[in-house]
Amino acid sequence: MAQKPPLPNRKLKPATIAVHDGALRSQFGETSEALFLTQGYVYESMEQAEARFNNTDPGFQYSRFSNPTVSMFEQRMASLEGAEDARGTATGMAAVTASLLSWVNAGDHIVAAKALFGSCRYIVEDLAPRFGITTTLVNGADLDAWRAAVKPNTKAFFIETPTNPTLEIYDIAAIAEIAHKAGAKLIVDNVFATPIFQKPLALGADIVCYSATKHIDGQGRVLGGVVLGSKEFISGPLQMFVRQTGPSLSPFNAWVMLKGLETLALRVEKQAANAAKIADFLAGHPKIARVFYPFRDDHPQVALARKQMTSGSTLVAFDVKGAKAEAFRFGGALEIVKITNNLGDAKSLITHPATTTHQRLAPEARAELGISDALLRLSVGLEDADDLIEDLDGALRTI
């Protein structure tokens, strides 16, 4: 039988948890977590199969419900986040969808910030209303707007902070308080902050979700997601939704994520240090009109960022002087930084949100979110910061 390798019975730091927690060791005594690439599990008897299905015999039944490698990832994520429980999903979007639709019903109301990852905005703005769930979108930084949006049937608040792509910061503790007063739950998509830099549950959020595709894998390989929260929620409605509708995390991807977690703290700390250095470089550059970085003193919410995060994040956004033509010329002249819409990778990646991730929005909606044609979003990788600065400087010379 598999065993949990013992860990000291005291509070461990995130980097230690991310290396060790949740491991299950088989009878072979392997050092590295095993990859259980199996769909099903063999029962010793018909009686055991019956007991497994009526929950009197603990154990695995089918990998759409649970799998040992996926369970290791879930346990490690729950410990890292300080959550009672976690459930892995096939993608970050599966995590967001499940965190809402597993328990919100027709006739209920959701309030969400306008500044959301494109697909998250689709879920709350287009998909949920098709099933009789109404949505109000608000400016997430305006606490009065949250209060004013509450209705008697409001069940969920949904935010992402820092936001994509302009790295706005929303006050998790204050928004959680408004949600709780209204009898609603606050869901936080914590992708940009990572579990290393921000702990939404400790600030009052009820449910946290991640695209593990981003920093948790961190090396651009596999898709995955995770939802975290109370044992009651995760093993109740969330588990039922995932088990019956099937957005389950593949054991292979869970194994890659487990290995990713081992280096998560190291990677994001280095990436954030690079990002801070690059933000300072860009802010002093004559071809740059504006820099968005949460820990810089010119960020409008720097005090709040420093209160609820332990780092300014691995992303930097900026407006070049000019418009689309200048942004395109700059992006096209980069030699180390790659053009792609992804983020959180060891490789530095650049995106022009107005023509890619936020193309679907009307120009007025983009303007409202501060997404100009001159805006670029840089996901800072693990390269040497000086090489990246030289690359950016060279490309800025072309405009």
Ligand X SMILES: *Cc1c(COP(=O)(O)O)cnc(C)c1O
Examine residue 217 and tell whether it contacts ligand X (CB under 6 A): no
Nearer to ligand X, 150 or 207 (CB): 207
Surface-to-core class of residue 148, CB atoms within 10 Å of its CB (0-12 exposed, 13-18 middle, 19+ buried): exposed
The answer for residues whose C-beta is within 8 angstroms of residue 247's C-beta and 6 or more apart is: 89, 90, 91, 94, 97, 98
Examine residue 99 and tell whether it contacts ligand X (CB under 6 A): no
Examine residue 117 and tell whether it contacts ligand X (CB under 6 A): yes
Q: Which helix (H) or strand (E) covers residue 208, if one does? A: strand 207-211
Question: Of 5-13, 149-157, 206-214, 363-371, which segment contacts ligand X by CB under 6 A?
Answer: 206-214
Q: Which two tokens stand for residue 367?
A: 């303007």
Residue 384 beta carbon to ligand X: minimum distance, rounded to whole angstroms: 25
Residue with tokens 């690059």: 278
Nearer to ligand X, 217 or 373 (CB): 217
Examine residue 120 and tell whether it contacts ligand X (CB under 6 A): yes
Residue 212 beta carbon to ligand X: minimum distance, rounded to whole angstroms: 7
Examine residue 213 and tell whether it contacts ligand X (CB under 6 A): yes
Q: Which of 88, 165, 225, 294 binds ligand X (CB under 6 A)?
A: 225
| Amino acid at residue number 113 | A
CA distances from 195 to 37, 130, 352 (A): 27, 33, 26
Q: Which of 81, 189, 217, 373 binds ligand X (CB under 6 A)?
A: 189
Question: Of 88-96, 267-275, 277-285, 323-331, which segment contacts ligand X by CB under 6 A?
Answer: 88-96
Question: Of 55-63, 68-76, 92-100, 358-366, which segment contacts ligand X by CB under 6 A?
Answer: 92-100
Q: Which of 91, 99, 372, 379 binds ligand X (CB under 6 A)?
A: 91
Q: Tell me which residue has its CB nearest to ligand X.
A: 92
Closest CA to 293 of 117, 168, 387, 191: 168
Q: Which of 21, 81, 160, 171 binds ligand X (CB under 6 A)?
A: 160
Closest CA to 266 of 161, 350, 210, 346: 346
> 74 near 22, Cβ under 8 Å?
yes
Residue 253 beta carbon to ligand X: minimum distance, rounded to whole angstroms: 10
Q: How many residues bind ligand X (CB under 6 A)?
A: 16
Beta-bridge partner residues of 159: 188
| Amino acid at residue number 65 | F
Nearer to ligand X, 91 or 271 (CB): 91
The answer for residues whose C-beta is within 8 angstroms of residue 387's C-beta and 6 or more apart is: 336
Question: Of 49-57, 114-122, 172-180, 300-308, which segment contacts ligand X by CB under 6 A?
Answer: 114-122
Residue 31 neighbours by CB distance under 10 Å: 7
Q: Label residues 256-289 b or e (16+ Cβ within 10 Å = b).
A: bbbbbbbbbbebbbbbbebbbbbbebbbebebbe
Nearer to ligand X, 150 or 188 (CB): 188
Question: Of 112-120, 132-140, 271-279, 323-331, which segment contacts ligand X by CB under 6 A?
Answer: 112-120
Q: Which of 78, 86, 93, 150 binds ligand X (CB under 6 A)?
A: 93
Beta-bridge partner residues of 211: 225
Question: Of 22-30, 77-85, 210-218, 270-278, which segment contacts ligand X by CB under 6 A?
Answer: 210-218
Read off φ and ψ for residue 334, nearest 5 degrees: -70, 140
Q: Which of 14, 22, 92, 331 binds ligand X (CB under 6 A)?
A: 92
Residue 124 beta carbon to ligand X: minimum distance, rounded to whole angstroms: 12
Residue 324 beta carbon to ligand X: minimum distance, rounded to whole angstroms: 23
Nearer to ligand X, 70 or 288 (CB): 70
C-alpha of 5 from chain center = 29
DSSP 67-93: -HHHHHHHHHHHHHHT-SEEEEESSHH
Nearer to ligand X, 14 or 353 (CB): 353
Residue 231 beta carbon to ligand X: minimum distance, rounded to whole angstroms: 24
Return residues touching ligand X (CB under 6 A): 91-93, 96, 117, 119-120, 160, 164, 189, 191, 211, 213-214, 223, 225
